[in-house]
């Protein structure tokens, strides 16, 4: 693991991870996450799904992955931040982002100010053990 000595990172709330960035476009949600987000938006689950969600087989994801996230507001903040999906709260510590230092440096770092600042020694330090716990929580 290239990150075995840990990684420094702190979210800067730039909203860049919420913008369409090539393959980083899909925001998947579980039914529990949909219910939580719908309640946060004061909507019924069905209305929320009709307005914001696409179902593809067993998966649910936020509509229109070719554009910025529906919940990204003009100020760069998330409209459902307290109820955001696990996928969002665990950025940038996704398995696909951590698979190689090259991926981290060439794909993640350019779109994430928190990763760039972490490379400069700023931000919270995440040990390899903490990163492994985050990865263990993730679903396929």
Mean pLDDT of the chain: 91
Confidence of residue 68 (pLDDT cuts 50, 70, 90): confident
DSSP letter string, 75-115: TS-BTTGGG--HHHHTTT--HHHHS-HHHIIIIIGGG-HHH
Average pLDDT on 93-117 reads 94
Least confident of 22-26, 49-53, 92-96, 113-117: 22-26
Residue 122 reports pLDDT greater than 80: yes
Write the pLDDT tens digit of every residue in 47-57.
999 999 999 98
State the residue for tokens 């991870």.
17
- Name residues whose C-beta falls within 8 Å of residue 110's C-beta, 6 or more positions apart in sequence: none
State the residue for tokens 């995440």.
126
pLDDT at residue number 63: 87
Q: What are phi and psi of 44, to 5 degrees?
A: -75, 155
Average pLDDT on 58-69 reads 84
Residue 65 reports pLDDT greater than 80: no
The angle formed by the CA atoms of residues 100, 7 and 1, to the nearest 5 degrees, is 35
Confidence of residue 23 (pLDDT cuts 50, 70, 90): low
pLDDT at residue number 21: 74
- For the beta sheet containing 59-62, the strands, ordered from the edge strand earlier in sequence to the opposite edge, are 28-29, 59-62, 53-56
Measured CA to CA, the distance from residue 125 to residue 39 in angstroms comes to 33
What is the pTM assigned to this prediction? 0.83
């Amino acid at each position: 693991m290239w990150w075995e000595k840990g990684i420094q990172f702190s979210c800067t709330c730039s909203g860049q991870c919420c913008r369409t960035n090539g393959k980083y476009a899909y925001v998947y949600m579980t039914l529990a996450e949909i219910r939580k987000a719908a309640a946060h938006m004061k909507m019924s689950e069905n209305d929320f799904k009709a307005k914001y969600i696409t179902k593809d087989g067993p998966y649910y994801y936020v509509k229109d992955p070719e554009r910025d996230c529906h919940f990204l507001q003009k100020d760069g903040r998330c409209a459902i931040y307290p109820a955001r999906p696990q996928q969002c709260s665990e950025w940038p510590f996704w398995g696909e982002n951590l698979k190689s230092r090259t991926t981290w440096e060439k794909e993640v770092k350019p779109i994430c100010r928190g990763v760039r600042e972490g490379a400069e020694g700023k931000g919270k330090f995440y040990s390899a053990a903490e990163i492994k716990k985050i990865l263990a929580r993730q679903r396929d």
